[in-house]
Amino acid sequence: MALIDSYRNSKIAKQKELARLTTDKAKEFVKLSDLNKKINLASDAIKRTKIVSTINSKLKEIERHNKDIANVNKKIADIESKIVRKEKEILDYQTKIEKEQNNIDKKRKSESERLIKEQERSLKHINTTLNYHDRLHENTINEIKELKNIPEKITVLFLASNPIDQVQLRLDEEARSIFEMIKKAKHRESVKLESCWALQPMDLLQALNDFNPAIVHFSGHGSDEDEIVFQAQDGTAKLVTKEAIVQTMMASSENIRLVFFNTCYSRNQAEAVSQFADATIGMNTSIGDEAARVFSSQFYSSIGFGHSVAKAFQQAKALLMMEGIKEENTPELFIKDGLNADEIILVKP
């Protein structure tokens, strides 16, 4: 039983005792009234008679009633004393009840405030979780949209230039190796290889417009003056500046996702073109025929397996190291600002 209930029960018991005492007091007052009536009757009888014996009898009766009145008054005084004590006890219990009720109210208020704070924390946690799930959901939707934007089939445009007045490169072996590695890839039907040989400046825009490629691959010579070696109409070398290449890529970059400069000293061209294409690859120094062939063929094989540009680049470097070709640090990868190489996937898995 709660303490406040015990106080209430005790108060009720004291109130019942008070009621009994009040009733007893009222009964004693009735007795007192009856005794006073008897005294008055005896006094009247004395006044009406002259018989001595009757007078003496009535006097004794009055004396006896006065003693009874004294006893009744004493009993009434005792009852009133008890009533005062009961009223004090009832008041004490009422004070205890109010004090305990205040304690209960404070505890309830404190518990209510605690529950409210706990609910607020719980709601905050739920909101945080919901916001996190909303972000995940939004990211998933964005990733799905990105995957949907990945074409079912991409075109790799292989551009080769091997002027007669330059050291002859084994570009045909590079092209054949890339073609064979793509054919071995899991998603080989999603990658189409087109090529343009003996590349002249007028051929570049024509090829870009004809094939609308996702990947543009330059294979041939490059100079340490940031130039790419094309061919003139007579088959000799024709140098094309970095600025010209950047302007061409900018004018054609709507569908181009990757530009691969598999030419010597092409790092700066790749970095400049990365403003317009999602990813670019260039060489920070000269690169040998074998390194160029191994690196590029493995890169396109990885792309054909649905890997990201970052993973394809790392796998291509890994193959150079496994083949013992110590040129794994020559290729460099550049990514357009705001993009992540691990999230750039060119072939839909």
The residue among 146, 177, 194 that closes a domain is: 146
pTM of the predicted model, to two decimals? Answer: 0.58
Q: Which of 104, 122, 146 marks a domain boundary?
A: 146
- C-alpha–C-alpha distance, residues 72 and 70, integer Å: 5
Query: Which of 184, 205, 195 is CA-nearest to residue 161?
Result: 195
Q: Which residue has the tokens 């290449």?
A: 245
Q: Is residue 163 part of a domain?
A: yes
Query: Structural domain of residue 46, as residue ranges?
Result: 3-146
Residues 334 and 201 in one domain: yes
Instruction: Give the pLDDT confidence of 58-85 residue by residue, as tens digits.
Output: 899 999 999 999 999 999 999 999 999 9
- Burial bucket for residue 227 (CB in 10 Å: 0-12, 13-18, 19+): buried
What is the pLDDT, as a whole number, of residue 138?
A: 84
CA distances (Å), origin 140, targets 37, 131, 153, 180, 331: 106, 14, 23, 35, 33
Q: pLDDT grade, residue 349 (50/70/90)?
A: low
The pLDDT assigned to 163 comes to 94
Strand intervals (E) in the chain: 154-161, 191-196, 215-220, 227-231, 237-241, 258-263, 279-283, 331-335
Count of structural domains, the chain: 2
Is 348 inside a domain boundary?
A: no
pLDDT tens digits for range 219-239: 999 999 999 999 999 999 999
Alpha-carbon distance 231 to 197, whole Å?
10
Closest CA to 202 of 193, 194, 210: 210
| Angstrom distance (rounded) from CA 202 to CA 269 | 19
d(CA 256, CA 264): 22
One domain for residues 201 and 329: yes
Q: What is the CATH number of the domain that holds 120?
A: 1.10.287.1490
Q: Is residue 349 included in any domain, yes or no?
A: no
Torsion angles phi and psi, residue 51, rounded to 5? -75, 125
Residue 144 reports pLDDT greater than 80? no
Residue 44 CB-density burial (10 A; 0-12 exposed, 13-18 middle, 19+ buried): exposed
